[in-house]
């Protein structure tokens, strides 16, 4: 095995507190003989100081340019900026939540021109459809979301003044969740744990059956027909959009017309905003300015929602990604793809070509350019 150089940049997007690997993950790489370069303060937002990385064998570098220049393998969390990609170089492997289908097309062009192998964590997918890395972040987000919804339903935040669990003589909040995947199911369980009334919608009957078993009668599962969707948004205190199609932009489920039927000062949370959003009225926000009002409905559309629990999210991400990172570092890319076919499915761009079927479908004729 030939040791390789692995770089962990500091995330540059606003209010991004996560880092690609916790010190425990870095230690596993250095013990395997690899060289790990961590940009100064990369882990500070998650509570991991530079000294913690030094103790496990990492070398701290002091510029964004240097950390990209050194790495044969670059590990990120949030979508790379154009400035990040312009620092990339030929034969470099980039891993992170890339969300290329919903991003700027010039990013794809840069990756193709520079010969970067871009592997998107959100498209690493097993044959049964399970998304092991995205699952980790969706679990964190689903368990976190009652904190966020509870806050923005408060009167002092402009909300309807409704408490999640209600109280004796007062009914609980009505929470509608679109999508019974990992996030939707975890969110439903978290909300019923707060005594809210939960309605979970999906087009996949098997997903609804799994969720129904877990909810054990504490929530309502519904087929996501247009009729049911229109009915549910009218009575909801909060609607959560959690739709995901790997490699594709998210389909729009909530039209502006439907948004107008929602209760005044109710809340809409677009969890799928990093893939383009599932409502006509959605646009990305930040943790510094997380909400806006459209059609008299409060919108929360923060792409990096789990960043506000940066330490928990980083540990979860490290546990989910480390086997893949070690496989690439120890075996090389092709053998790692052989060992983990789901990792091969996560490749979006390689050798200048768009290789993920979903991304190819989204780009259409642009792929040939």
pTM of the model: 0.93
Q: How many CA atoms lie within 13 A of 165 on its CB side?
A: 10
| pLDDT (tens place) for every residue of the chain, 369 residues total | 789 999 999 999 889 999 999 999 999 999 999 999 999 999 999 999 999 999 999 999 999 999 999 999 999 999 899 999 999 988 899 999 999 988 888 999 999 999 999 999 999 999 999 999 999 999 999 999 999 999 999 999 999 999 999 999 999 999 999 999 999 999 999 999 999 999 999 999 999 999 999 999 999 999 999 999 999 999 999 999 998 888 788 899 999 999 999 999 999 999 999 889 999 999 999 999 999 999 999 999 999 999 999 999 999 999 999 999 999 999 999 999 999 999 999 999 999 999 999 899 888 856 544
Q: Single out the catalytic residue among 202, 270, 274, 356.
A: 274
34, 84, 99, 244: which one is catalytic? 99
Q: Which of 267, 287, 308 is the last residue of a domain?
A: 308
Task: Judge if 83 and 69 occupy the same domain.
Answer: yes
Q: Is 34 a catalytic residue?
A: no
23-49: per-residue pLDDT in tens? 999 999 999 999 999 999 999 999 999
Domain boundary pick from 308, 329, 352: 308
Q: Are 149 and 117 found together in one domain? A: no
Does 63 share its domain with 42?
yes
Among residues 211, 224, 216, 149, which one has the least CA distance to residue 180? 211
- 364 and 287 assigned to the same domain: no
Q: Are both 140 and 258 inside the same structural domain?
A: yes
Residues 12 and 22 in one domain: yes
Shared domain check, 153 and 297: yes
Look-up of token digits 């997903």:
207
**Residues 178/241, Cβ–Cβ less than 8 Å:** yes
DSSP string spanning 113-141?
A: HHT-EEEEGGG---TTS--HHHHHHHHHH
- Domain identity same for 200 and 291: yes
297 φ, ψ (degrees, to nearest 5): -120, 135
CATH classification at residue 352: 3.40.50.720
Q: Provide the phi-psi class of 156: left if phi over 0, else alpha when psi is between -120 and 50, else beta.
A: alpha
If asked whether residues 216 and 304 sit together in one domain, one would say yes
Report the C-alpha gap between 39 and 368 in whole angstroms.
36
Residue 118 has phi, psi (to 5 degrees) of: -105, 115
Domain of 84 in residue numbering reads as 5-128+310-368
Same domain, 32 and 165: no
Please tell me whether residues 340 and 234 are part of one structural domain.
no
User: Is 274 considered catalytic here?
Assistant: yes
DSSP 8-state class, residue 69: H
Q: How many domains does the chain have?
A: 2
Helices (H), the chain: 23-31, 50-55, 64-70, 82-85, 105-114, 132-152, 182-193, 205-215, 226-235, 256-260, 310-331, 333-339, 341-346, 357-363
Give the model confidence (pLDDT) of 286-303 as tens digits: 999 999 999 999 999 999
Q: Last residue of a domain, which of 308, 324, 348?
A: 308
Q: How far apart are CA 200 and CA 84, in angstroms?
A: 38
Number of C-beta neighbours around residue 206 at 10 A: 9
What is the DSSP pairing of strand 174-178 with strand 353-354?
unpaired
Tell me, yes or no, whether 69 and 200 share the same domain. no
């Amino acid at each position: 095995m030939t040791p390789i150089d692995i770089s962990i940049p500091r995330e540059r997007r606003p209010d991004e507190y996560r880092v690609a690997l916790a010190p425990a993950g870095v230690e596993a790489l250095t013990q395997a003989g690899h060289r790990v370069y961590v940009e100064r303060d990369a882990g500070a937002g998650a509570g991991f100081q530079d000294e913690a990385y030094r103790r496990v064998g990492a070398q701290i570098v002091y510029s964004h340019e240097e950390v990209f220049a050194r790495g044969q393998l670059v590990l990120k969390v949030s979508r790379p900026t154009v400035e990040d990609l312009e620092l990339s170089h030929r034969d470099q492997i980039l891993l992170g939540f890339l969300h290329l289908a919903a991003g700027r097309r010039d990013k794809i062009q840069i990756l193709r021109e520079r010969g970067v192998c871009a592997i998107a964590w959100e498209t690493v997918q097993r044959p049964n459809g399970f998304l092991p890395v995205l699952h980790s972040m969706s679990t964190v987000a689903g368990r976190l979301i009652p904190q966020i919804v509870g806050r923005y339903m408060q009167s002092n935040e402009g909300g309807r003044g409704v408490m999640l669990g209600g109280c004796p003589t007062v009914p609980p909040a009505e929470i509608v969740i679109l999508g019974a995947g990992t996030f939707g199911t975890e969110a439903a369980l978290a909300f019923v744990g707060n005594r809210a009334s939960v309605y979970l919608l999906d087009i996949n009957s098997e997903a609804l059956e799994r969720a129904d078993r877990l909810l054990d009668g504490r929530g309502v599962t519904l087929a996501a027909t247009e009729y049911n969707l229109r009915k549910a948004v009218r009575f909801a205190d909060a609607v959560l959009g959690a739709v995901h199609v790997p490699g594709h932009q998210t389909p729009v489920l909530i039209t502006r017309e439907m948004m107008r039927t929602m209760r005044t000062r109710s809340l809409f949370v677009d969890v799928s905003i990093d893939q383009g959003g599932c409502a006509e009225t959605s646009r990305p926000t930040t943790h510094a300015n997380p909400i806006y009002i459209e059609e008299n409905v409060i919108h929360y559309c923060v792409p990096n929602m789990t960043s506000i629990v940066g330490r928990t999210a980083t540990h979860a991400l490290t546990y989910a990604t480390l086997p893949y990172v070690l496989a690439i570092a120890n075996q090389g890319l092709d053998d790692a793809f052989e060992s983990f076919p789901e990792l091969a499915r996560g490749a979006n761009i390689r050798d200048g070509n768009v290789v993920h079927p979903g991304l190819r479908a989204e780009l259409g004729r642009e792929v040939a350019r």
